[in-house]
């Protein structure tokens, strides 16, 4: 675990430290396009944040290659090199798109080529666990097609959800954390060396996102752009493909007691690859809805619009920060719920917890104007806006003793707005009428 933590910290540190210089470079290079009609930010913001994330990926893999235990992933498998090759290609396409713009079909072709490069170097799906059937071996053609499909779908799902400050990086970080927990359990809990590359990919991905998030939280100082969103989407897909293609199903069945038990134990393995895609469930749902919506309206599936889930959250009244937190919540609930269910599927507590949290999430989703009352002892734990509203409410409910009625009107105006203002205008009009009489 210490080696994975070191790799994560190095990746995060390099990404964080390089993001500032990359921002200045992006401004100097003119990679700060004007605000479009579908954008939610108000000022032109530089892109190319994926440059810092890519160098963070390289630094993390370089450090991992020198470590004792994680270094075995580089000697026993070519998957880290395959990931680096595909990541370099997809990152280059993203940089060109952030600066000059690339046609959607050209980007799609580049994504397929990047996935093909990884397949040629051994990063492919060899078998697929099917519930109730067992592990089904795939032919080379089937494995190649399925691997390319998983990579392309994941890249575009992450790219589509990248619409609010900190949204894509946070959601991918949550998915990578859940995936790391499962892969680490497979590697050190059951002794499957084939899960080592996937564990490394998840740790590096967490570092990339955590290092970039401080610069990307609302209000964002820099965007990751396609160079970042497609990159982290590819790394996330590579982890799922790696653990599915390398974990021996016979050894898994031996530990689980039966082949069907092995399939159940590997729940998070086939769920990222088949519907529903739990690790990237929220971005995937957004991707499907966007394609259906645009095709139904007679538009290209790659034509951008303001119909994504995060845009709808803003339209019903949620603030920018609350919309991001709601998306974080659902991503974490689905990803960690799938991992917990794979560990203890017979536990009623897990099912009830997921149901309860889902109910809480629906309540928060349907109450965009709800502001919780914060006790005084928790003031230090909440943002300032909640403390200000609490003080205003207290001032309106408990005026000073002996205070005249007119002196309480400003406080009431701050609490009720138009109601108190209308009362003052009405009283002023009545006094002016009496004076004229």
What are the pLDDT tens digits along the chain (437 aa)?
A: 889 999 999 999 999 999 999 999 999 988 887 665 555 556 778 889 999 999 999 999 999 999 988 888 898 888 999 999 999 999 999 999 998 888 888 999 999 999 999 999 989 988 776 656 666 788 889 999 989 998 998 898 888 777 778 888 998 999 899 889 888 887 777 777 778 898 999 999 999 999 999 999 878 889 998 999 999 999 999 988 888 766 655 565 555 555 555 555 555 555 444 433 555 566 667 777 777 877 777 776 666 666 666 666 766 766 777 778 888 888 888 888 877 877 766 668 888 888 888 888 878 777 765 555 667 777 776 666 556 554 555 555 555 444 444 444 444 344 344 444 444 444 444 444 344 44
As beta bridge partners, residue 292 has: none
Q: Are 173 and 331 in contact (CB under 8 A)?
A: no
Place of tokens 């093909």: 116
In terms of pTM, does the model score above 0.85? no
Tokens describing residue 239: 């982890």
Burial class (CB in 10 A: 0-12, 13-18, 19+), 230: buried
Measure the CA–CA gap between 324 and 415, rounded to whole angstroms.
27
pLDDT at 7: 95
Question: What is the number of alpha carbons within 13 Å of residue 86 lying toward its C-beta?
Answer: 36
Question: Quick one: CA dihedral 215, 155, 276, 255, positive or negative?
Answer: negative
Measure the CA–CA gap between 400 and 414, rounded to whole angstroms.
16
Q: In 77-103, which ranges are continuous DSSP H helix? A: 79-99
| Phi, psi (degrees; rounded to nearest 5) at 374 | -105, 125
What element of type H or E holds 128?
strand 127-130
pLDDT at 40: 55
Binding positions for Mg(2+): 159, 226
Tokens describing residue 386: 């909640």
Residue 118: how many other CB atoms lie within 10 Å: 30
pLDDT at 258: 54
pLDDT at 292: 80
Binding positions: 159, 226
Tokens describing residue 382: 């909440």
Give 394-434 as a DSSP string.
Answer: HHHHSPPTT--TGGGHHHHHHHHTHHHHHHHHHHHHHHHHH
Our measurement of the distance from residue 431's CA atom to the centroid of its chain's CA atoms, rounded to an integer in Å, reads 59
Our measurement of the distance from residue 347's CA atom to the centroid of its chain's CA atoms, rounded to an integer in Å, reads 28
Strand bridging mode 134-137 / 127-130: antiparallel
Report the SS3 class of residue 126. coil
pLDDT at 210: 95
């Amino acid at each position: 675990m210490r080696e994975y933590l070191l790799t994560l910290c190095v990746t995060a540190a390099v990404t964080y430290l390089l993001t500032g210089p990359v921002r200045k470079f992006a401004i100097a290079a003119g990679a700060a396009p004007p605000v479009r009609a579908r954008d939610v930010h108000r000022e032109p913001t530089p892109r190319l944040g994926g440059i810092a994330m890519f160098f963070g990926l390289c630094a993390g893999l370089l450090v991992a290659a020198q470590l004792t235990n994680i270094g075995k992933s580089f000697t026993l498998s070519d998957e880290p090199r395959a990931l680096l090759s595909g990541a370099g290609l997809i990152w280059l396409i993203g940089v060109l798109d952030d600066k000059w713009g690339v046609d959607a079909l050209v980007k799609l072709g580049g994504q397929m080529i990047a996935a093909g490069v990884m397949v040629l170097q051994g990063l492919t799906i060899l078998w697929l666990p099917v519930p109730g059937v067992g592990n089904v071996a795939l032919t080379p053609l089937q494995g190649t097609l399925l691997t390319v499909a998983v990579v392309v779908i994941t890249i575009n799902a992450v790219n589509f959800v990248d619409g609010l400050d900190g949204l894509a990086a946070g959601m991918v970080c949550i998915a990578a954390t859940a995936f790391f927990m499962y892969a680490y359990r497979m590697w050190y809990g059951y002794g499957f060396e084939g899960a080592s590359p996937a564990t490394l990919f998840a740790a590096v991905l967490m570092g990339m996102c955590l290092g970039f998030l401080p610069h990307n939280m609302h209000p964002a100082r820099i965007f990751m752009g396609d160079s970042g969103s497609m990159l982290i989407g590819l790394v996330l897909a590579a982890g799922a493909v790696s653990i599915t293609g390398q974990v021996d199903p016979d050894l898994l069945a031996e530990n689980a007691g039966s082949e069907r038990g092995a399939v159940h134990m590997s729940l998070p393995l086939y769920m990222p690859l088949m519907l529903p895609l739990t690790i990237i469930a929220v971005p995937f749902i957004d991707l499907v809805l966007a394609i259906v919506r645009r095709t139904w309206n007679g538009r290209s599936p790659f034509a951008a619009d303001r119909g994504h889930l995060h845009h709808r959250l803003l339209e019903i009244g949620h603030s920018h920060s609350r919309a991001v937190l709601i998306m974080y919540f659902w991503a974490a609930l689905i990803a960690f719920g799938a991992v917990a269910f794979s560990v203890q599927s017979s536990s009623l507590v897990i099912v009830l917890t997921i149901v309860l949290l889902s109910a809480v999430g629906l309540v928060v989703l349907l109450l965009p104007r709800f502001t919780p009352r914060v006790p005084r002892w928790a003031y230090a734990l909440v943002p300032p806006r909640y403390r200000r509203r609490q003080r205003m409410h207290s001032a309106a409910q408990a005026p000073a003793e002996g205070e005249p009625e007119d002196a309480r009107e400003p406080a009431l105006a701050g609490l009720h707005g138009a109601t108190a203002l209308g009362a003052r205008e009405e009283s002023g009009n009545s006094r002016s009428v009496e004076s004229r009489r």
